[in-house]
Amino acid sequence: MNLVLSFKMRKRNFGIAAFSGFLALIFSLSLPQYANPVYGEKIVLTQPNGIEIIGYIYGDEFHRRVETEEGFTVILNEERGTIEYAIMKNKRLVPSGMIVGIVSPFYLQRIRFPKHLSDRSYQIAEIRKKSPEMLHELSSFQDKLDKKVKAQALTGTKKAFVVCVQFQAEATPPTQWSSGAYSPSGFDTRIFSTGAGNISMANYYKANSYNQFWPVGYTHPNWVTLPQTASWYKQNGSWRKVIEDAMDMIRSADPSFDFTLYANSGELNLILIWAGTRQTWGTFYWPQMSSSSLYKYGVTVKYYNVVNERNSDGTENTDISAFCHEYGHMTGCPDLYDYSSFATPLGHYCMMGWSNYSTHFCGYIKWRIYEWVTPTEITASASFNIDALGLASASNPRLYKVNIESPNEYFLLENRFNGSDSNYENYSYRWSGLLISHIDENYPPAVCQPSYPFYGVEAVVPVLNPSITTLSSYTAYYDNMVFSADYGYTRLEPAYPDDQPPGAYLTLTYSEGVEHVIYRNTQGHTKTTEIHFINIGNSGSTMNLSATTLTYAISGTVNVPSVSSSKKVTAMPNRVYVSELQRRLSDRSKKNSRTMAKYGSFLGKVNKATGLSGVVMSGLPGNPSTDASGFYSVIVEYNWSGIVTPTKQHYTFTPLSRTYSNLTSDQLGQDYSALRNIYAPLNFQGVKVENRSLLFREYINSLSWQSNPDNVDIVKYRIYKIEGTGRILVAEVSADTLNYWDIGVEKDTHYEYALCAVNNENREGAFAYLEID
């Protein structure tokens, strides 16, 4: 009873004391952190008059929002100490003056008071502005990933050191309690126990890694009393000071205590449990992971996790979720939720998107971060079986990969079946089925970039409809991000809805019909191929699906005229088979990276030696032009037909055009040979003249012409005499000679001539003709 009274008093006091911390969203921490998100966790708040309020908290250490059961956002009125319904003012939440518990929610509903208000985006933006290093934003995640890929997989065991700390007593500690009440041994069990059936962080990692990895370590057996109060540390805003003091206290109690025994090559991975609860309104005492360069007693505290001892109601925090999530950061995982919008692109299908131990890591984390599973690449049309990602042992692949823009853009397919791991993959509120996630490693996993309003890791959500264009709509579908016949979602195909721009939509066929769904991830991609997944079966420990592989390979040759200065013969174009395109496509075809594409991509090269730029590929959608290297590419719709004709002034192409009919495959290497046109000389004319001395005479056909200004690299002209159907070379003259005398012709004979320019490749151009009587 006393305990209960005490608890309530503490909560009342806490409600007032928390005023000072509510607006403290700007942190003094200097090192980047990884957050621990909660989504709608139930908490109890107390008004100054003792009225208890049930709230649901959303947020992490950066920002939190509390809603009532009805969805109205509430906020602490700093001046009055009351918890009030919130309104938005200047992008920020402010108290409305309507006190929760006094103003009826029915009244609010009647006046249509806004629900689910949040100023998270504004507050995060402020943090990003003032202390961007805190958010880390994963902007350098790709670098980390690259390093990770080069490093070894996370296997075996890794040491961690756990210490529980309590504070000096004070009247209203921000943690509600200053002293620890629950035995550190309990935390030790929940963190390190590998006993069969035990719910522990070690077993979570063991299950996720298929027995390849789990943390081991040591938990200090006693609560370590820090020299300062919880408020003092909060005011100083320094977890580093907490850690330093904790280590000092341990050493002062036992001077022989050797921290190096619990370090990994001198690096101490520290898990610190503080006495008391998280702060509801404040920001310091919230589970998080960060890094430091603290060197003390022979070890460097490389990473540290901090987690609360108690829940908001004072009970022991026995949930391992926060430990598992934060230890994920400690071992290299990014957050898979958006700090700004709080959106979770993978919904409830990954530990790093929401902190809940009943969910395995997603396939992306298991493969790219930890390398516990290697995806099987789909390279041909076929039916596939996929075992659940949570199964301890599997006879079929657990993860499939379908390349889009290899190597950085691809789809991952994973079977997320509730119960496949009874302890850690068994979130019953969630649909079971095939999770199809789109990965684009060119972008951070869960941070939208201004130029790319999608996430680097994002689920293709089957239930979206075309009217939904923002991720805020994802919230309702966090549990429904999988495909399965159980719910009628058996097919995922791309299409172009009539009323929407191309490239961003999929046709979704389900039990009630067909509709177009937004395929958010492909928006803005010019080279995205469309992917067909069909015959997606029922959920189960093994699922089946069919993938239609439509590789649109285009291959061809590049004709480059040969230039020979040593031989005065007519040179014919040599055939050259090497081009940049072919190299690109070779790589692509080797990896067989395109699968199930409904859109074909045209890839080719219009070459004149090293490639010709500015060639318009008439007939292709958008009439694309070749780039500086002569390369062109375009996406066309599945079953596309058309005639493509390369055009550029003064050039002739071989072939003149290509005809495509009902495309069902990529057309790689659709190359053309480009030859600079050599036009006929202008004003080719002639006359028969008498040439005589006193006693002799002869007749001459005097020919003349003008150079064609559209010609380049002309080195000479050739004059032919046409006799019958044949052509006899009469003469070659240099390019600066624009006339010729055919001497000794007969006076009364009809003559026909043909004249052409010859370029520096010894290639003849078009003929001009002339008749002389």
Partner 1 sequence: MRTERALLPISRLIEEEAMKRIFIFCLAIVLFSSLAQAKFLIEAKGSYFQPSDKNFKQVYNSGKYTEWISYGGEIGITLGKGVALWAGGSYFNKKGKLTFTEEETTLQITPFYGGIKFRSTNSNVSPYLGVGVGYFQYKEENRINSISKADIGYIGQAGLLFRLGVFIVDFQASYSYCKVKPVDVEANLGGFQAGIGLGFEF
Q: Kindly list the distances between the CA atom of residue 352 and the CA atoms of 347, 373, 388, 398, 763, in Å, as whole numbers in the listed order.
A: 10, 17, 19, 19, 66
Of the candidate spans 20-28, 574-582, 683-691, 714-722, the one that interacts with partner 1 by CB under 8 A turns out to be 683-691
Close Cβ partners of 54 (under 8 Å, ≥ 6 residues apart)? 42, 43, 44, 45, 68, 69
- Do 184 and 309 touch, CB atoms closer than 8 A? no
CA proximity to 647, closest of 636, 638, 656:
656
Which one among 106, 111, 694, 748 touches partner 1, defined by CB under 8 A?
694
* Nearest residue (CB) to partner 1, 69 versus 698: 698
Kindly report the number of other CB atoms within 10 A of residue 41's CB atom: 17
Length of the chain: 773
* Residues with Cβ within 8 Å of residue 471, at least 6 apart in sequence: 338, 341, 343, 345, 448, 455, 520
In angstroms, give the least distance from the CB of 773 to partner 1: 18
Of 124 and 719, the one with the shorter C-beta distance to partner 1 is 719
Could you tell me the smallest distance in angstroms from the CB atom of residue 745 to partner 1? 12
Stretch that binds partner 1, among 11-19, 356-364, 533-541, 686-694 (CB under 8 A): 686-694
Buried residues in 648-676 as b, exposed as e (16+ CB within 10 A): beebebeeeebebeebeebbbbbbbbbbb
**430, 348 in Cβ contact below 8 A?**
yes
C-beta of residue 316 within 8 angstroms of C-beta of residue 61 = no
Measured from the CB atom, the residue of 313 and 746 that comes closer to partner 1 is 746
Is-contact 438 460, C-beta < 8 A? yes
Instruction: Please choose, out of 365-373, 451-459, 658-666, 689-697, the segment that lies near partner 1 by the rule CB under 8 A.
Output: 689-697
With tokens 């980390």, the residue in question is 144
Q: Rounded to the nearest whole angstrom, what is the least distance from the CB of residue 688 to partner 1 in the complex?
A: 11
* Closest separation in Å from C-beta 719 to partner 1: 17
Q: Choose one: 183-191, 624-632, 637-645, 688-696; the region binding partner 1 (CB under 8 A).
A: 688-696
Cβ proximity to partner 1: between 345 and 686 the closer is 686
Q: Which residue has the tokens 């939190």?
A: 64
Q: Counting Cβ atoms within 10 Å, is residue 311 exposed (0-12), middle (13-18) or buried (19+)?
A: middle
Smallest distance, Å, CB 704 to partner 1?
13
As measured in angstroms, the least distance from the Cβ of 656 to partner 1 is 46
| Binding range to partner 1, per CB under 8 A, among 451-459, 505-513, 664-672, 692-700 | 692-700
Q: Which residues make beta-bridge pairs with 652?
A: 675
**CB 756, min distance to partner 1, A:** 25
Other CB atoms within 10 A of residue 567 CB = 9
Stretch of 308-316, 563-571, 691-699, 707-715 lying at the interface with partner 1 (CB under 8 A): 691-699
**Which among 195-203, 473-481, 508-516, 684-692 is the span making contact with partner 1, rule CB under 8 A?**
684-692
Closest separation between CB of residue 743 and partner 1, Å? Answer: 8
- 205 to 244: interface string for partner 1, x by CB under 8 A: ----------------------------------------
Cα 633–chain centre separation? 22
- Contact set for partner 1, span 244-273 (CB under 8 A): none
- Residue among 710, 724, 712, 705 nearest 768 (CA): 705
Based on CB atoms, which residue is closest to partner 1, 651 or 740? 740
| Cross-strand bridge partners of residue 743 | 700
Does 704 sit near partner 1 (CB under 8 A)?
Answer: no
Closer to partner 1 by Cβ: residue 5 or 695: 695
Minimum Å gap between C-beta 701 and partner 1 is: 11
Residue 700 engages partner 1 in binding (rule: CB under 8 A): yes
Ordered DSSP codes for 639-695: T--EEEEEE-TTEEEESS-EEE-S--SEETT--EEEEE--PPPEEEEEEEEEEE-SS
Helix (H, G, I), strand (E, B) or coil at 711: coil
Stretch that binds partner 1, among 279-287, 472-480, 561-569, 698-706 (CB under 8 A): 698-706
Question: Does the protein bind partner 1 through residue 383 (CB under 8 A)?
Answer: no
- What minimum distance in Å lies between the beta carbon of 685 and partner 1? 16
- Cα–Cα dist 109/116, whole Å: 13
> Which is closer to partner 1, CB of 498 or CB of 690?
690
Give the integer Cα–Cα distance in Å for 16 and 33.
28
- Binding status of residue 696 toward partner 1 by CB under 8 A: yes
- Which residue of 152, 566, 693, 725 would you call a contact of partner 1, by CB under 8 A? 693
Min dist CB 742 to partner 1, Å, is 12
The site string for partner 1 over 709-748 (x = CB under 8 A, - otherwise) reads: --------------------------------x-x-----
Residue 576 structure tokens = 């050259």
Q: Which of residues 177 and 751 has its CB atom nearest to partner 1 in the complex? A: 751
The one segment of 222-230, 303-311, 668-676, 687-695 that binds partner 1 by CB under 8 A: 687-695
Query: What's the count of helices (H) and strands (E) in the chain, helices before strands?
Result: 13, 43
**Options 69, 698, 710, 746; binder of partner 1; rule CB under 8 A:** 698
3-state SS, residue 427: coil
Report the residue number, 54 or 689, with the smaller CB distance to partner 1. 689
Chain center to CA of 694: 93
On the question of a cis peptide bond just before residue 407, with omega within 30 degrees of 0, the verdict is: yes
Count of chain residues binding partner 1 (CB under 8 A): 14
Residue from 157, 557, 652, 702 binding partner 1 (CB under 8 A): 702
Tell which one of 690, 724, 726, 748 touches partner 1 (CB under 8 A). 690
Contact string (CB under 8 A) for partner 1, positions 630-669, x = contact:
----------------------------------------
**What stretch of H or E contains 546?**
strand 542-548
Kindly state the tokens that stand for 684.
């080719």
C-alpha dihedral over 269, 273, 279, 280, to 10 degrees?
90
Q: Min. distance of Cβ 732 from partner 1 in angstroms?
A: 20
Q: Which is nearer to partner 1, 641 or 691 (CB)?
A: 691
**Pick 4 or 695: Cβ nearer partner 1:** 695
What minimum distance in Å lies between the beta carbon of 699 and partner 1?
9
Contact positions with partner 1 (CB under 8 A) in 741-770: 741, 743
Does residue 5 belong to the site contacting partner 1 (CB under 8 A)? no
Residue 63: name the closest of 46, 38, 83, 87 by CA. 38
518-524-529-535 Cα dihedral, nearest 10 degrees:
-10
Options 195, 697, 710, 737; binder of partner 1; rule CB under 8 A:
697
Q: What's the closest the beta carbon of residue 728 comes to partner 1, in angstroms? A: 22
Is the Cβ of residue 265 or residue 693 nearer to partner 1 in the bound state? 693
Identify which of residues 715 and 731 has a Cβ nearer to partner 1 in the complex. Answer: 731
434 contacts 536 by C-beta, under 8 angstroms: yes
Of 146, 692, 710, 749, the one binding partner 1 by CB under 8 A: 692
Q: CB-based contacts of 370: which residues, under 8 Å, 6+ apart?
A: 153, 154, 208, 209, 213, 331, 332, 361
Binding site for partner 1 (CB under 8 A): 689-698, 700, 702, 741, 743
